Structure 1
Amino acid sequence: MHHGKYTFVVSFLLVPVGIYGLFVVSPYLQAIYISLTDWTGLTGGQTFVGLANYARLLDDEQFLIALRNNGILVVVVPAVTVLLGLFLASMLNVGRRGRSGVEGVRGSAVYRVVYFFPMVLSVAIIGVLFKYVFAPTQAGGILNGLLRAVGLDGWAQPWLGDPDFAFWIVLLVMIWSFVGFYVVLFSAAMQSIPKEIYEAALLDGAGRFMTFRQVTLPLVWDTVQVGWVYLAIQAMDAFALVHIMLGIGGGPSRSGDVLGLALYRSAFNSYRFGYASAIGVVLLLLTLVVAAVFMRVARRERVELS
C-alpha cells in the first residue's frame, strides 16, 4: 500500500521537479562552472582557471565600490521603506479617534491610491522620469529649472552629474518607488486587527507611540518580516534603475555602480563572461546570506489573536 502511494507521488512530482531542475537549477550550476573559466562568451572553448576570477575580484577597485553600494542599498532601502510604510499605514488605518472608534485619517482611501501609484509605473518609466528631473543640464533638469524659476539659483546642483549626489538620488528614487506597495501591504495587515484592542489601549491611557509599539507592531510583525526580506532582495537587484538613470558606467566616476551593472558591463562590454559569472555568483551568495540574516534577526515569537 505504501509502496503504491510513493510511486503515485513520485510519478506526479517527477515532471515538475525535472522541469525546475532543467530551467532553474541547471543555469545556476552552469554559471558557477563558467565563473571558473576564462570564457569570452564568443567562442566555444572555455579555459579552466579555477578561482582566478574570484581572486581578481578582490583586486578590482570598481567591484569593491559596487559591493559597497549594494551594501548601503540593502541596509538603507529596507529600513527606510519599512519605517515609512508602517508610519503611513498606521496613519491611514488607526491615525485618529473618531465617533465610531479608532479609524484612519480623512481621505485615507484616496491616499492609498496616491501612495500605490508608483507601483503602476514600470522601472523604465520611473528611471527616465527622474533622470530628467535630476538632469545636470539646465535644458533637461526639471528640478534645477524649478529652482531657478523661484529665484533659488544657488540651490541648483549637477545632481546626477555629481559623484557626491548621483548614488544617493537613485537610492531615494528606489525608496519612493517601493514605499507605496508596503503602505498597502501593511494596511491590509492592520485592517485585520480588531478595533477593540485599540480602544482598550486608549482606555488604559496608552499614547500613540506606545499603542503602535505594543499593539500594532507585534500583530503585523509577520508581514513586516516578509516585506523586509523581499525589500532586501529588491535592493540587491538595483541594476535596471541605476542603468537607466546613471548609464552603463554607473554615473560620474562610476560612483553609483552596483554589482548587477558591473556584471552586465563585464559580460557585454568587455566580453569577459567568466569574470561576469564570478560577479553573478557573488551576488547570488550575498542575496542568500542577506535573506537568511534578515530572517534570523527578525525572528520573534508570533502573536496570535484569540
Structure 2
Amino acid sequence: MQHGKYRFIVGFLVAPLALYAVFVIWPFIQAIYYSFTDWTGLSPDFKMVGFANYKRMFEDDVFWKALQHSALFVVLLPLVTLGLALFFAFMINVGGRHRKGAAVSGVRGSGFYKIAYFFPQVLSIAIVAILFRFAYSPNDGAINGALNAVGLDSLAQDWLGDPNVALWSIMAVLVWSTVGFFVVLFSAGMASIPKDFYEAALLDGAGRATTFFKITMPLLWDTIQSGWIYMGILALGAEAFASVQIMSVGPGGPDYSTTVLPLYVWQSAFRDANAAYATTIGVALLVLTLLFAAVVMRLGRRERLEF
C-alpha cells in the first residue's frame, strides 16, 4: 500500500515539476550562463568573458543609483501600503462605533469603501500610470489645478520633472494602485477572527489601538508576512518597471533619479543591445529579491497562533 501511495503521489508531481523546471528554473540557469558572455541579444554568436560583466556592473554608477531606488521601493512601498491597508481593513471590519445589536462592527458604509479601495485593481498598472502622468502634468494637470484652486499655489510643481520629487511621485501612484488589494485581503482575514475576542477585549476596557495590536495583528501575522513578500516582489518587478517606464522622463530620469533595476535591465537589453550585461543586472535583481524574502521570513518568524 505504501509503495502504491508513493507512486500515486509521484505521478501527480512529475508533470508540474517538469513544467516548473523548464519554464522557471531553466531560464534562471540560462541567465546566469549568459551573464558570463558578451552576447548582444541580436546575434547567436557570443564568447565567454568571465566576470567582466560583473566587474563593469560594480563600477557602473547608474547601476548603483538603480539599486538604491529599488531598495527604497522594496522597503518603503510594503511598509506604507500594508500599513494603510491594515488601518483601512480594521476600520471597515471592527473599527466602527458600537451600534444597537452589534458590539463589534465596521464603520458606516464599509461595503462601499471596500469597492472604492479595490477599484484601482480593476485597472492595469499601464492605464493607471498613463492617467497619473496626465494628472502630474505641471501646466494642465489635475493635481496642480486642484492645488491652485484651493490657494496652495506654492505646493504646485513639476512632479515628474523635478529629480527631488519624481521618484516619490511614482511611489505614491504604486501605493494608490495596490492598497485596495490588501484591504480586501486583510478584510477577509479579519472576518475569520471570532467576534468574541473583540467583545471580550471591549468588556475589559480595551480601545481600538489595543485591540488592533493585541488581537488583530497577531492573528493576521501570517497573512501580513505573505503580503509583505508579495508587495516586495511587485516593487522589484513588473509594477515598478511599468510605472517608471510610462511615467518618468527619459524614461528613468531626470538625471537617472527614477531609474530602477527592472528598467535598467530593459534598457541594457533593448536600448543598448547588450543582453549579457542585462542578464548580469538581472542576476543581481534575483539575488536582491531572494535576500528580501529571506530577511522578511527570518525577521517575521514567530509562534503560530491558532483560533
Superposition TM-score tier, normalisation by shorter sequence: over 0.9
User: Compared with structure 1, are the counterparts of its residues 28 and 219 closer, same or farther at alpha carbon in structure 2 (3 Å cutoff)?
Assistant: same
Q: Per-residue deviation at 1:54?
A: 1.0
Q: Is the 8 A contact 1:248 1:265 kept in 2?
A: no
Q: In 1, distance between residues paired with 2:204 and 2:152?
A: 50
- 3-12 or 296-305, which moves further after superposition? 3-12
Question: Which segment drifts farther, 42-51 or 112-121?
Answer: 42-51
Distance in 1 of aligned mates of 2:142 and 2:129: 14
User: Which residue of the partner structure matches residue 98 of structure 1?
Assistant: 99
Shift of 1:199: 1.1
CA pair 89-15 structure 1, distance change in 2 beyond 3 A:
closer
Residue 158 of structure 1: aligned partner: 158
**Is 1:214 the equivalent of 2:234?**
no
Shift of 1:263: 0.4
Map of 1:239 onto structure 2: 241
Match of 1:125 in 2: 127
| Structure 2 spans left out of the alignment, 5+ residues | none
Aligned pairs, how many?
303
Deviations 1:77-108 (A, max 9, x none): 11111111111111111112222211101110
148-157 vs 117-126, which deviates more? Answer: 148-157
Equivalences for 1:33-72 in 2 at 5 Å? 33-72=33-72
Residue 194 of structure 2 corresponds to which residue in structure 1? Answer: 194
Partner of 2:172: 172
Report the counterpart of residue 114 of structure 1 in structure 2.
116
Q: CA deviation at 1:146?
A: 2.9
d(CA) in 1 for partners of 2:249, 2:14: 44
Change (3 A) 1:33 1:132: same
The worse-fitting range, judged by mean Cα deviation, of 148-157 and 182-191 is 148-157
Does the CA-based 8 Å contact 1:246-1:256 persist in structure 2? yes
What is the rounded CA distance, in whole Å, between the counterparts of 1:151 and 1:9 in structure 2? 68
Letter in 2 for 1:97: H
C-alpha change, 1:11 and 1:224, in structure 2 (3 Å) is closer
TM-score normalized by the length of structure 2: 0.94
Counterpart amino acid of residue 99 in structure 2: G
C-alpha distance in 2 between matches for 1:145 and 1:4? 71
Matched, 1:32 2:42: no
Greater shift, 174-183 or 241-250, is seen at: 241-250
Worse-matched range after superposition: 259-268 or 284-293? 284-293
- Per the alignment, residue 269 of structure 1 pairs with 271
Q: Structure 1 9/148 Cα, relative in aligned 2: closer, same or farther at 3 Å? A: closer
Determine helix, strand or coil for the equivalent of 2:104. strand
Query: More displaced, 200-209 or 13-22?
Result: 13-22
Structure 2 counterpart of 1:218, one-letter code: P
Does the Cα contact within 8 Å between 1:69 and 1:257 map onto a contact in 2?
Answer: yes
Cα gap change, 1:32 to 1:248, in 2 (>3 Å): farther
Point out where structure 1 has 5 or more consecutive residues left out of the alignment: none
- 1:304 maps onto 2:287 in alignment: no
C-alpha contact (below 8 Å) 2:160/2:249 kept by paired residues: no
Q: Relative to 1, partners in 2 of residues 1:226 and 1:268: Cα closer, same or farther, differing over 3 Å?
A: same
Q: Which residue of 2 aligns with 1:252?
A: 254
Aligned-pair identity (%)? 54
Distance 1:47 1:205, change over 3 A: same
What root-mean-square deviation, in Å, do the aligned CA atoms of Structure 1 and Structure 2 show?
Answer: 1.6
Q: Measure how far apart 1:150 and its partner are.
A: 4.1
Give distance in 2, aligned partners of 1:232 and 1:2.
41
Q: Which amino acid aligns with 1:215?
A: I
- What is the rounded CA distance, in whole Å, between the counterparts of 1:265 and 1:121 in structure 2? 26
How many angstroms does 1:6 deviate by?
A: 4.7
After TM superposition, the score normalised by the length of structure 1 is 0.94
| Alignment-mate amino acid for residue 176 of structure 2 | W
1:251: how far off? 2.2
Given that 1:135 and 1:161 are in contact with CA atoms closer than 8 Å, whether structure 2 keeps it comes out as no
1:137-148 aligned at under 5 Å gives the runs 138-139=139-140, 141-148=141-148
CA drift of 1:46 comes to 1.1
Q: Any conservation in 2 of the 1:37–1:48 contact (CA below 8 Å)? A: yes
Indicate how the Cα distance of structure 1 residues 42 and 185 shifts in structure 2: closer, same or farther if over 3 A, else same: same
Q: Distance in 1 between matches of 2:129 and 2:257?
A: 17
Distance 1:130 1:8, change over 3 A: same
Please give the secondary structure, in 2, of the residue aligned with 1:254: coil
